[in-house]
A = this chain, B = another copy of it.
Amino acid sequence: MKYFFGLLLWMKVLGASAQETLKSPDGDLELKFSLDNKGVPTYALTFKGKAVLLPGKLGMEIAGDSISLRDGFRITGTQVSSVNDTWTPVWGQSSRIRNQYNELEVALYQEKRDTRILLRFRLFNDGLGFRYEFPKQKNLNYFTVKEELTEFRMTGDHKAFWLPGDYQTEEYKTSTTLLSGILPKLKSGTLKVGENYPLYENKGLVSVQTPLMMKSSDNLYINIHEAALVDYPAMMLELKGQTFSAHLTPDAVGNRAYIQTDFTTPWRTVLVSDDARDILASNTILNLNEPCALESTDWIRPVKYVGVWWEMFVKGSTWAYTNETNTKLGKTDYSKLKPNGTHGATTANVKKYIDFAAKHGFDQVLVEGWNEGWEDWYGLWKEDVFDFVTPYPDFDLNYLRDYAKSKGVRIMMHHETSAAATNYERRLDEAFRFMTANRYNAVKTGYVGYPIPRGEWRSGQWMASHYLRVAKEAAKHHIMVNSHEAVRPTGLCRTYPNWLAQESARGTEFEALADSDPDHTTILPFTRLVGGPMDYTPGIFQTTFDYYDPSNKKRVHTTLVKQLALYVTMYSPLQMAADLVENYERFPDALQFIKDVAVDWDETHILEAEPGDYVTIARKAKGKNEWFVGGITDENGRTAQINLDFLPAGRKFKATIYEDARGAHWETNPMAYGIRTVEVTSKTVLGQILAPGGGVAISIK
């Protein structure tokens, strides 16, 4: 299944020159590596002759080591090679992925410490990946990273789409400022996750986190992130002037990472183009990850699901079965507690969702709040919060399991851990065996709160290893994972494709908890989604919440149609239809798009894109002659130019267009939509009007 066109052009140069250059396959990107006169490794990057990164330092500081790996290096050899092949993802935005790059390996030797390291650079046509490699050697078996010294030196005061470098969360709104605006805004103290979310404090906040999207004044699009975060902390970026420096999330005692050689760091990635669409089309992060590590993958299937969830945000349903508190796992007799009457995960309510899923072809029904512990789950730094196997008295597990089976639907498991990862790990095997015994094959995990082990952060090395450990253990049980509040993804879903999706950004829930800006989902594809699929949970039809409660003035910051478009623009093999099923029954014609839209694809075409403004994407459903187009805009209305030249030539297709009605507006008239069908061909270019905060969704057969 894998074709290697790799051509090894290596040249081994002992006592090599202190400067090496490497070009991307198309020649547009050029990397210059050199050692300065103190033996400090530096690298610089240009695109079509324009500077992207000025010469920035590379190196590593080792804890308890008087001699750092920061200078005094000499080059002992370099090696250049090329790879051009394709591979087949288990699921994805396209059914084949091209992996084409030129590689420069630089072997460095530091005499003072008698230490060898390697730097490996890969230049794709759309960007650079590089990493540190520490071979096993006499003087370097185990070491502790005090700090990684990688610099990213920008060339100007770029526009940046950024989140603060919070060790704990990615759930902020994106700030859009010049680089020079970042520190003042951070210092202003105005950044917060959400007014109803006091748990997230800006502890340990440094400048920004990744993926960081930038645009230069001469229209270069630059994205900094990382690939394959394995056994290492996430990289934050500290800004000084126009230079970003790596800042690794520390552990409980202030160290960054514990390393055993041989070891390779995650790849540091810099995507570059003068066309914003190339950033969205990039597969570089995936290509830098290792191939699938699972023995079988036939049990992994993209999932479209509904669930007992949104009602907790808009209808006052509760995760907890009771308002009594101070319960103890395994000791409290819940049958003796007074039910609060607002519990969402009741047998009757879940049955209603199963019926809906069966009727409309959804695969699964997520049920949050099914298990004991929710009275006391939050903000207590409590370790034994949940046992993951004990349902509340009003959730009839056996009945619902069998009923779902009779309807051809699965219930999706929910493992909120309250970030007590130690508790989760010691119960994990039992929890997964319980799932298998009860016909669950997918789990949504949650990590709300400060982690246990106490002092660790959600983006630190220990927790990063934890999430991956859970995904790997889940794979042994043929369980798919959707992790919420985990560290932002870095393409590991290629290696562990049962790790279908993550949250790790401000999802739809924030429309109810606080708010999200109308441009939010025009930015996310350039930031969060660069690392992998997001369980964004779109599909809110009832966008205003005074519908439920006249005093609730919150609302979704999109039109209804934009909610449909998100199924195409926010790529994920796991897609929720998040609204209440009764709302879907009110709009069956709009629901039809969610029912039809694919969650796995043969082809993806980025038609239009500008971060913070608009995104238009077309995709071909996997194995079917069906295409879906999603277009979204920010707070400004616009006319999308939708060129259907991706369709097979010479044939006619029926396009069903879900569009904002005339006068629609995310704030004043969000739910006005129209549906029309037109005949289209590969020569059709649709000029489609999008309302302010609006969108368009098209299905083509």
Contact = CB atoms under 8 A, between A and B. Distances in A.
Interface of A: 136, 141-142, 144, 251-253, 255, 258, 260-261, 325-326, 328, 376, 380-383, 422, 425-426, 428-429, 452-456, 462, 469
Contact of A253 (B260, B383, B428, B455): B455
Contacts of A253: 252, 454-455
A197 B142 CA distance: 20
A16 B23 CA distance: 87
Nearest to A469: B426
Given A258-B381, A260-B382, A453-B453, A141 B429 contact: no
Contacts of A376: 141-142
Copies of this subunit: 2
B453 A326 contact: no
A584 to B, nearest CB: 39
A454 B258 CA distance: 11
Nearest to A456: B453
Contacts of A383: 258
A325 B252 contact: no
A454 B453 contact: yes
Contact of A260 (B252, B255, B261, B326): B326
B426 A136 contact: no
12 contacts: A141-B326, A142-B376, A251-B454, A252-B455, A253-B454, A258-B382, A422-B425, A422-B453, A425-B426, A453-B454, A453-B462, A454-B456
A136 B453 contact: no
Nearest first, the 8 closest Cβ-Cβ pairs linking A and B are A453-B453, A252-B455, A252-B252, A141-B326, A455-B455, A425-B426, A142-B380, A253-B455
Given A142-B382, A252-B253, A453-B454, 7 more contacts: A141-B325, A252-B454, A252-B455, A425-B425, A452-B453, A453-B455, A454-B462
Contacts of A425: 422, 425-426
Nearest to A473: B426
A326 B134 CA distance: 13
A430 to B, nearest CB: 8
A490 to B, nearest CB: 21
Q: In this complex, which of A380, A422, A453 has the most chain B Cβ atoms within 10 angstroms of its Cβ?
A: A453
A260 B381 CA distance: 11
Nearest to A254: B455
A456 B253 CA distance: 9
A683 B233 CA distance: 74
A384 to B, nearest CB: 9
A99 to B, nearest CB: 26
Contact of A326 (B136, B426, B429): B136
A380 B140 CA distance: 12
A252 B325 CA distance: 27
Contacts of A142: 326, 376, 380, 382
Nearest to A421: B422
Nearest to A451: B453
A368 B381 CA distance: 38
Q: In this complex, which of A141, A144, A252, A261 has the most chain B Cβ atoms within 10 angstroms of its Cβ?
A: A252
